[in-house]
């Protein structure tokens, strides 16, 4: 072949190679996960048969539940699964020893245990939640069969523990040695994608190319990214020593990102109000607004690597030095002298711009320093991520599972149905598993469809295919296409519930073992009982405190508003981290399910006013204040807390009056403290924060005003920011 032909062939093959690489980065990892899970499942089945365990399907199902695309998640999940399984086995031992001869009391005790564990799963998050789920339904899996034959309890419990542990080991070994995908790689991907998306979001917002609804969607996606990084960071500590060494920097990065995104949101909201109402300060600030956009635009491609981030940080640092000169030049363009409203609008926007540029610079520097291996000065260890969970909702989630188990248990006792114990096991299992989902009823519904499809596939496979499979190798060959089809659906978020339901039910129904039983009547009877258990869980999710019910919507809106109350009354030590992290987690929870769409209308006021209140309180204690100013600020903070506790037009009017009085007291104090630069700076920042609270309360396009109404007259000369 000539050199010309070789070059032509390369040009023709290059697009195909690019397509293959792109496929490998997306679908390729999904198929690797499917292959690894199938291999681990068959390995668990083979070892269970080799060791002559009673139910190899238990080990196989354990693989489905434990297996994750990343190695660290498998190790972490397995650790909590072992702990939850041991706790469930201990609970089943207590129940069997006390109530083996009294079915009613046994079911009542089991319902209490599973309900308590489900409440714990709803209260905690990540793998702690998973440990509670396991402790709940493991007690049902071991305790119910043992209650029918108490003398076999220890044999049954040890066998189930052996099967579960075998499944965990198979999943861990296969995940770790075959195409391992480290959590540290996912952390790098998460950090890079979030940085690039945030810079692009800021640039497009400054350019005015995104609408309000799209801005809200991006804000929620960025909040979910914060939660994802926190979850991966916690799990990676068990896997990678380098991640543990960078743990403080990762926490600092998350904190700086939340601070920068919150400040930019406040700056953008204020600029939108001023521009929309043709305020004089808005026109003057357009120059600063555009200069920041030009600075980010001069970066060219959005920074993706540490070196590019270092360059971006240097450009931002140069802009910080030039910003003061730009501000003074723009200030001269205002009316001479500007009225108090224009001056406060301008000063507030400038203060937010300075703060955002400072926080963006710090965020870029921390992002750029992550790949560095040399040990520099460690960040402070006082940055913590705080979760926000409603204990009442968690308790009611446990109550819902409690009644579901009682309902099916009563039916089992009244009907004396031999397969009723299977329905009771599955209602406990599915109720505990689905309770942690954003929409449990939808998850249970998809599982019903998956279980039904798995039931049909298992019937065809067991009675028409399996008898002709002679030996372990042929059995594996027959199982591979069915398992891979279900597992591939599991990799798709839209079909994940269906896929996991399919493979679990299929594996549970074919019951591979040393001695096989082919009885269609028993198969249909047991399968119908299992599906009945899932249907009972779904009915309970739909009827008792449904996820889209009015009560839960009001509760979620109140929980989001409570973030501002927390900003008003909680101790200041670490408050900014508690507010930022818990608000982002709450937004992620609300956005994960359709039940919180109305509550999300409170998102921007809560973020904006809550952060401003914290800054007011911090500035108030940073220097000496007169008694009158201290009382005015305290009244303002408490009035804001009362308003967010009980939103109404009257409370909003009272809060606006308190903000106006506090602003006037700050101005008077500033005139008396004109000789002290430190106190004057704190008072100036306090005044801009109060003005930001006021403009947010006056914005009639927010859900805040739509909910409580607008007072008939603006207080103390206030101006409405309506369109």
Q: For residue 459, is pLDDT > 90?
A: yes
Distance from C-alpha of 476 to C-alpha of 60, rounded to nearest angstrom: 13
pLDDT at 723: 32
Identify whether the C-beta of residue 222 lies closer than 8 Å to the C-beta of residue 191. Answer: no
Pick 243 or 30 by higher pLDDT.
30
pLDDT class of 702 with cuts at 50, 70, 90: low
Q: Quick check: 703 and 602 in contact, CB under 8 A?
A: yes
**Other C-beta atoms lying within 10 Å of the C-beta of residue 300:** 9
Closest of 161, 34, 156 to residue 100, by C-alpha: 156
Task: In whole angstroms, give the CA distance from residue 458 to residue 600.
Answer: 43
- pLDDT tens, residue by residue, 415-424: 888 888 888 8
Q: What percent of the chain is modeled with pLDDT above 90?
A: 11
Tokens found for residue 502: 């399919």
Which residue from 232, 185, 175 is spatially nearest to 33, judged by alpha carbons? Answer: 175
Please report which residue ranges of 544-574 form alpha helices under DSSP H.
Answer: 550-569
What whole-number distance in Å separates Cα of residue 593 and Cα of residue 443? Answer: 11
pLDDT, one tens digit per residue, over 255-265 is 888 888 888 88
Distances (CA, A) of 44 to 29, 47, 112, 509, 607: 22, 5, 33, 17, 49
Angstrom CA distances, 231 to 126, 219, 493, stand at 7, 19, 18
| pLDDT tens digits along 43-88 | 999 999 998 888 898 899 889 888 877 766 676 667 777 788 888 8
CA distance 516 to 520: 12
First to last CA, the chain: 72
Model confidence, pTM? 0.77
pLDDT in tens, 340-384: 777 787 788 888 888 888 888 888 888 888 776 555 555 555 677
CA distances from 363 to 146, 174, 247, 581 (A): 57, 38, 16, 16
d(CA 11, CA 356) in angstroms, rounded, equals 47
In angstroms, what CA-CA distances link 437 with 233, 391, 431, 448, 456?
22, 16, 10, 15, 26
Q: Give the CA dihedral 351, 313, 210, 193, nearest 10 degrees.
A: -130
| Cα gap 147→102, rounded to integer Å | 9
Cβ(584)–Cβ(258) below 8 Å: yes
User: Among residues of the chain, what percentage have pLDDT more than 70?
Assistant: 80
Residue 623 has pLDDT above 80, yes or no: no
* Token reading at 458: 């298992």
CB atoms inside a 10 Å sphere around CB 61: 22
Query: What tokens were used for 211?
Result: 């609408």
């Amino acid at each position: 072949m000539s050199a010309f032909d070789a070059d032509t062939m390369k040009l023709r093959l290059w697009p195909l190679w690019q397509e293959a690489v792109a496929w490998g980065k997306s679908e390729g990892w999904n198929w690797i996960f499917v292959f690894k899970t199938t291999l681990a499942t068959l390995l668990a089945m083979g070892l269970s048969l080799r060791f002559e365990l009673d139910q190899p399907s238990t080990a196989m199902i354990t693989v489905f539940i434990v297996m994750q695309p990343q190695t660290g998640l498998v190790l972490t999940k397995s650790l909590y699964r072992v702990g939850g399984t041991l706790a469930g086995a201990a609970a089943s031992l207590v129940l069997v020893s006390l109530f083996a001869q009294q079915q009613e009391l046994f079911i009542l005790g089991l319902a209490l245990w599973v309900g308590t564990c489900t409440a714990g799963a709803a209260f905690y998050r990540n793998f702690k939640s998973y440990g509670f789920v396991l402790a709940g339904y493991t007690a049902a899996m071991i305790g119910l069969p043992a209650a029918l034959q108490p003398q076999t309890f220890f044999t049954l419990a040890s066998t189930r523990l052996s099967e579960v542990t075998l499944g965990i080991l198979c999943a861990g070994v296969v995940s770790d040695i075959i195409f391992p995908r480290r959590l540290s790689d996912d952390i790098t991907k998460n950090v890079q994608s979030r940085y690039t998306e945030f810079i692009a979001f800021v640039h497009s917002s400054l350019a005015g190319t995104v609408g309000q609804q799209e801005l809200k969607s991006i804000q929620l996606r960025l909040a979910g990214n914060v939660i994802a990084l926190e979850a991966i960071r916690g799990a990676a500590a068990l896997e990678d020593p380098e991640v543990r060494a960078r743990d403080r920097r990762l926490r600092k990065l998350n904190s700086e990102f939340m601070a920068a995104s919150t400040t930019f949101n406040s700056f953008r909201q204020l600029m939108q109000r001023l521009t929309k109402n043709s305020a004089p300060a808005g026109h003057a600030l357009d120059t600063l607004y555009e200069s920041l956009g030009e600075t980010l635009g001069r970066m060219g491609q959005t920074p993706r690597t540490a070196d590019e981030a270092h360059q971006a940080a240097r450009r931002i640092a140069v802009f910080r030095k030039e910003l003061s000169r730009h501000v003074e030049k723009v200030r001269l363009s205002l009316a001479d002298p500007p009225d108090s409203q224009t001056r406060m609008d301008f000063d507030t926007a400038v203060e937010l711009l300075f703060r955002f540029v400072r926080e963006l610079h710090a965020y870029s520097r921390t992002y750029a320093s992550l790949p560095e291996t040399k040990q520099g000065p460690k960040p402070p260890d006082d940055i913590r991520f705080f979760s926000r969970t409603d204990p009442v909702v968690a308790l009611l989630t446990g109550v819902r599972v409690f009644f579901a188990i009682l309902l099916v248990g009563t039916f089992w006792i009244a009907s004396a149905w031999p397969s009723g114990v299977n329905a009771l096991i599955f209602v406990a299992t599915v109720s505990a598993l689905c309770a942690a989902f954003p929409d449990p009823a939808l998850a249970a519904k998809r599982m019903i469809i998956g279980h039904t499809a798995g039931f049909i596939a298992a019937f065809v496979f067991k009675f028409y295919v399996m008898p002709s499979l002679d030996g372990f190798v042929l059995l594996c060959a027959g199982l591979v296409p069915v398992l891979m089809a279900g597992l591939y659906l599991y990799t798709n978020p839209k079909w994940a519930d269906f896929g996991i339901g399919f493979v679990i039910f299929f594996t549970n129904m074919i019951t591979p073992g040393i001695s096989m039983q082919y009885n269609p009547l028993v198969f249909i009877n047991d399968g119908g009982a299992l599906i009945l258990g899932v249907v009972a869980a779904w009915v309970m999710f739909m009827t008792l405190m449904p996820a889209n019910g009015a009560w839960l919507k009001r509760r979620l809106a109140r929980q989001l508003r409570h973030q501002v109350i927390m900003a008003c009354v909680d101790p200041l030590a670490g408050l900014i981290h508690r507010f930022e992290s818990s608000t982002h987690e709450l937004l992620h929870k609300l956005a994960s399910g359709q039940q919180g769409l109305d509550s999300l209308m409170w998102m921007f006021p809560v973020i904006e006013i809550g952060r401003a209140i914290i800054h007011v309180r911090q500035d108030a204690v940073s220097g000496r204040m007169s008694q009158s100013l201290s009382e005015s600020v305290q009244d303002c903070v408490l009035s804001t807390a009362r308003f967010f506790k009980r939103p109404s037009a009257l409370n909003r009017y009272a809060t606006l009056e308190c903000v106006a009085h506090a602003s006037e007291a700050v101005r008077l104090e500033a005139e008396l403290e004109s000789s002290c630069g430190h106190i004057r700076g704190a008072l100036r920042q306090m005044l801009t924060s109060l003005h930001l609270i006021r403009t947010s309360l006056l914005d009639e396009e927010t859900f805040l005003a739509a909910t409580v109404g607008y007072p008939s007259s603006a207080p103390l000369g206030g101006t409405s920011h309506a369109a």
